């Protein structure tokens, strides 16, 4: 009897272990477009290793100065996602988290850095070939925080045919007035944005054609509205966040263009505490998109 109980216990422990999710950090993809290896982290839901099932995919983008481990470590993505799936609030999904460096997920004005091109033509196809992913619009979503929130808006705004849902959190969105009157000293502006838009730009000279091509508010005003309406948007920003004004302006622009979206303003600032509390809602939101 004792041996039988021991055997049953071992079997139960084995099953429990087999059903754990998997998190792999800092893997690499070789990019011809960027001319270097790019790191990424990947979350695979419980049961992935034991099945032949294909899963929906969420691309989760980090913020400025973070890397592919930002969401996995500070954001506690594995623990939060496991809990949401176990509770039935989220569907099992693959989550891919690339290193965006400080490229703001866009192509630079001079073409020297083409992160948007890398993401769409190299990274997404690589992930969806390497892992068992349902590579269709209705099973694909993108989310991110701060710089990553901007990236999510850019990818969906320019490529709405690729994504069912977007969930920018505390997105790095500014009004034109904020960009023109930015109080940051010129050296800091050039360090942060010079490679993207051009160094030495002051005042209204910052509002270049390239800037507008990568400004979410302008994209919402000028892009194909019919296509954007086919994407589900969840926008969340804290009431004490320094980016709240730009996010509210984005909300207003989407109202004017009659682009359906959910807009949340919760108590909090530009912090991991805020984003960790946002992630469960993001997972729930994109899961409802995958179920359509």
Q: What is the CATH superfamily name and number for domain 23-174+215-290?
A: Alpha/Beta hydrolase fold, catalytic domain (3.40.50.1820)
Could you tell me which of 93, 80, 166 has the C-alpha nearest to residue 132?
A: 93
Q: For every one of its 292 residues, what pLDDT tens digit does the chain have, with 9 covering 90 and above?
A: 555 555 544 444 444 445 799 999 999 999 999 999 999 999 999 999 999 999 999 999 999 999 999 999 999 999 999 999 999 999 999 999 999 999 999 999 999 999 999 999 999 999 999 999 999 999 999 999 999 999 999 999 999 999 999 999 999 999 999 999 876 678 888 899 999 999 999 999 999 999 999 999 999 999 999 999 999 999 999 999 999 999 999 999 999 999 999 999 999 999 999 999 999 999 999 999 998 6
Distance in angstroms (rounded) separating the CA atoms of residues 221 and 198: 24
- Residue 68 to residues 24, 73, 123, 225, Cα–Cα distance (Å): 11, 9, 13, 32
pTM reported for the whole predicted model = 0.93
From-to residues of CATH 3.40.50.1820 in the chain: 23-174+215-290
């Amino acid at each position: 009897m004792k041996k039988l109980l021991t055997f049953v216990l071992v079997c139960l422990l084995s099953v429990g272990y087999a059903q754990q999710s998997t998190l792999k950090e800092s893997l690499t993809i070789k990019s011809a477009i960027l001319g270097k290896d790019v790191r990424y982290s990947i979350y695979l839901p419980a049961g992935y290793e034991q099945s032949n099932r294909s899963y929906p995919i969420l691309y989760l983008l980090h913020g400025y100065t973070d890397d592919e481990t930002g969401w996995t470590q500070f954001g506690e993505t594995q623990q939060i996602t496991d809990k949401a799936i176990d509770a039935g609030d989220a569907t099992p999904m693959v989550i891919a988290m690339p290193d965006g460096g400080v490229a703001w997920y866009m192509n630079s004005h001079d073409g020297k850095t083409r992160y948007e091109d890398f993401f769409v033509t190299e990274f997404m196809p690589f992930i969806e070939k390497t892992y068992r992913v349902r590579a269709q619009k209705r099973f694909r979503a993108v989310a991110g925080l701060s710089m990553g929130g901007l990236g999510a808006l850019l990818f969906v705004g320019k490529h709405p045919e690729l994504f069912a849902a977007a969930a920018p959190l505390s997105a790095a969105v500014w009004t034109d007035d904020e960009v023109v009157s930015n109080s940051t000293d010129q050296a800091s502006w050039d360090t942060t944005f010079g490679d993207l838009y051009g160094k030495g730009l002051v005042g209204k000279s910052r509002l270049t054609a390239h800037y507008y091509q990568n400004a979410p508010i302008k994209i919402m005003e000028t892009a194909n509205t019919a296509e954007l309406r086919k994407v589900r948007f969840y926008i969340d920003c804290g009431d004490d966040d320094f980016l709240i004004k730009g996010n509210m302006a984005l909300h207003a622009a989407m109202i004017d263009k009659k682009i359906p979206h959910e807009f949340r303003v919760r108590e909090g600032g530009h912090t991991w505490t805020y984003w960790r509390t946002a992630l469960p809602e993001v997972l729930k939101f994109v899961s409802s998109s995958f179920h359509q």
